[in-house]
Amino acid sequence: METNFSVQCPYCGEHIWMEFYPEDGNQQETITDCEVCCNPILYVVTFKGEDTRVRVERAQ
């Protein structure tokens, strides 16, 4: 299964690669600062076979 996901920073629009593993749970939430603009990004990951997706939101 694909574990690398390309997302776009909700603040600066920078493309970021993040790695998530289904072993850690079908539904995951994590907050990581953008490497470019340093704003906190909330990642919501849903592992659901081919419908696996990653959503990003502003965490503040």
**Footprint of Zn ion (CB under 5 A):** 9, 11-12, 14, 34, 36-37
| Sign for the pseudo-dihedral over CA of 51, 26, 33, 3 | negative
Q: How far is the CB of 42 from Zn ion (least distance, A)?
A: 13
Q: What is the three-class DSSP state of 60?
A: coil
Q: How far is the CB of 10 from Zn ion (least distance, A)?
A: 8
State which residue, 24 or 33, has the beta carbon closest to Zn ion: 33
Count the helices and strands in the chain (H runs, E runs): 0, 5
State which residue, 53 or 58, has the beta carbon closest to Zn ion: 58
